[in-house]
Amino acid sequence: RVVTRSVTRVIAPNPSVFTGRGTNTYLAGGASLVCIDPGPDDDHHLAAILEAAGARGGHIDTILLTHSHPDHRPLALRLARQTGAAVHCFDPSAGRENAQPLSDGDVVRIGDLELLAVHTPGHTRDHLCFFDPAERVLYSGDHILNGTTSVVHPGEGDMADYMESLRRVQVLEPVTILPGHGERVEDAGALIAEYIAHRLEREAQVRSVALGRTAFTPMDLVPTLYAGYPVEVYPLAAWTVQAHLDKLVHDGEVDQVDPGSETEPPRYLARNA
C-alpha cells in the first residue's frame, strides 16, 4: 500500500494487543530501495516485501532498523541474504546480520533519498528514528505511534531519555510521521506535542496517586491510573508506571525501597508520604 508519494507500507502478519494490526515495514526510494524495519521472521511477510519491491520496479539495497525488538528486526537477516542489502542500525551486536553501525546525525543515502539517523533512546536504548528532510517525513519506529502511546520498559528504556527524545524530534519539525504501528500521521507537530503533554500529565498522576501510600509496587497504581482500560494492557501499563517512578526517583521525589527481583516487582515510597 502506498502511504506517501514515494513510500510503500507492508504490514506484517503479527497483530496483537502489543502491535495493533502488525508491524509496519516501509519501502522508499527509486530503483534502489531502502527497507525500514523488515519485521518478524515470517515467510509470508518476506514474500510480501519482495513482491512490493518488485511492484515498485526497484531492488532493496539498504535495510534500516529503528530498534532490535522481535517485531521489528529478525527478518533483516533473511532479507539481507536474499537481496544482498546492507543492514544499518544503532546496535549491530544485537543481531547476526553483520550490520553497520549508525550514530546520531549520520546520513544514509539511497539514490536521491537522504535519511538522517536520530538517536531516540527511551522506548529502547538503541532506538533510532529516520528523518527525510526533503519530504519532512519522520519514520518513528516505536518512538511515536498512531492510536496508542509508546511503552517504556524499565531496563530496556528510560523515561527521562524518552522525554528528551520526544523534544529532539519535535525540533526537526516533521510534517508527516510514518510509525512502526498504526496509520500515517498527517499532523506530526500536533501529535508530538500531544505525546509530550500526555507524558507530563501521566507523571503528575503517578506522583499524585503515590502520595500517602505505604510502600507500593507499580501494579498497585495501575487500576487507578488506567481505569477504563482493558486488563490485558495492565502489564504494559505497569512497565510505564515503573518507568515514571524511576524518573521520579532520579528527580528526588520518590524512593525505591526494594529493588525487587526476577519474580518480585520493585517497591517505592513517595518522599513526602
Asked if residue 236 lies in contact with residue 147, where contact means CB atoms within 8 angstroms, the answer is no
Longest dimension (CA), the chain: 64
Looking at per-residue pLDDT, the higher value among 83 and 262 belongs to: 83
Task: Report pLDDT for 1.
Answer: 58
Span 214-243, average pLDDT: 94
Task: Report pLDDT for 181.
Answer: 97
Span 37-42, average pLDDT: 98
The phi, psi pair for 222, rounded to 5°, reads -60, -50
Task: Report pLDDT for 233.
Answer: 87
Residue-wise pLDDT tens digits, 83-137: 999 999 999 999 999 999 999 999 999 999 999 999 999 999 999 999 999 999 9
* Distances in whole angstroms, Cα of residue 220 to Cα of each of 199, 256, 267: 19, 14, 10
Task: Name the β-bridge partners of 115.
Answer: 108
Asked if residue 176 lies in contact with residue 186, where contact means CB atoms within 8 angstroms, the answer is yes
Closest CA to 31 of 56, 11, 6: 56
CA separation for the pair 244, 270 (Å, rounded): 13
Whole-model pTM: value is 0.93
Task: Name the β-bridge partners of 33.
Answer: 29, 60
Going by their DSSP bridges, the two strands 59-64 and 86-89 should be labelled as parallel
Q: Which three cell numbers stand for residue 256?
A: 525505591
Task: Report pLDDT for 2.
Answer: 53
